[in-house]
Amino acid sequence: MNTLPQYRADKLAVLGDLHGRWNALDNAYFDQAAYDLLLFVGDLGSGTRKDGLAVIRQLSRLQSRGLILPGNNDAEHLPHLSAELAYQTGRAELLRAMRRNAAPGIEPCGYSCHRLLTEQGPISLIAARPCATGGSALAFPDMLARTYGVRSMNDSIGRLRALVDSAPDPSVLFLAHNGPFGLGGAAADPWSRDFGLSPDDDQGASNDWGDDDLQQAVEYAVNRGKRVIGVVAGHMHRRPGKTPRPLLTERDGIAYVNPACVPRIAMREDGESHHYVEMRVSPSALSLEEKWVTLA
């Protein structure tokens, strides 16, 4: 008997790095919008405990169903984080605090498998490593060891491969904070470094800031005969008019989606314009529509 969490998921809303840009207008909008599931790629606050707590409290009031993959920035947002707590300990507290405070509709995820039910059939959603910072090193190993028993990049690779093996469906969708290594290091590539890299600086893979373990998990899924319809991750920001990073990159039949448009709220004459990505999924493909909605 399959005991994986299950979600109706024909029509989803994907939220990139919030960095504090989430408010009651977002709650009202998504609670009345016809989305089956909300997916958050992490980095909820902008770096201060007060700001992060405000976002977590707003998210906890959502009536919609949703999954949050914690980002590297999220530990700073916990109400119980104090000056005495170690930097990495705070990230473990994030997971515990979110489990304690989140409404039934909003759940944290990470190193976990979930089942998406669509009209065309089910899809296994694999939530990757929480709090990833990019690059080849394993970020916050103390927190990962305490929370998940993951002490090295090889441990993380093994954990993700085990999730692939446990996925009950032929089709797989990955959700992560940061994307996989291997899609390039030029400024316009989806997970190249968004710091210290100018638009005309093309140095190839040396600036590729994707995660090694996620790349290996995707390759493992393909080699095991899974149909990987997509990978959804943020962390490396898309900045309108500044960084030519794409929303969608397709490679070998896999859709790589970076929804992290920062800042996601822009002020216009008629009100606040809020960003998200509408995604429709089936076991064979996904489709995207980038949205800017004005909320007054």
Structural domains of the chain ordered from first start: 6-295 (3.60.21.10)
SS3 97: helix
Q: What is the mean pLDDT of residues 199-207?
A: 57
- Does residue 1 surpass a pLDDT of 80? no
Say if residues 75 and 94 touch (Cβ distance below 8 Å). yes
DSSP H or E stretch at residue 177: strand 171-178
pTM, full prediction = 0.88
Q: Whole-number mean pLDDT of the chain?
A: 85
At 98 the pLDDT is: 58
Q: Across 9-150, where does the E strand assignment appear?
A: 11-15, 37-40, 66-68, 106-108, 112-118, 121-127
- d(CA 288, CA 278) in angstroms, rounded, equals 6
At 80 the pLDDT is: 29
> Higher-confidence residue: 198 or 192?
192
- Does residue 293 surpass a pLDDT of 60? yes
> Higher-confidence residue: 119 or 143?
119
Say if residues 12 and 282 touch (Cβ distance below 8 Å). no
At 201 the pLDDT is: 52
**pLDDT over 90 percentage in the chain:** 59
Q: How large is the greatest C-alpha to C-alpha distance in the chain, in angstroms? A: 54
> Which pLDDT band holds residue 119 (cuts at 50, 70, 90)?
very high
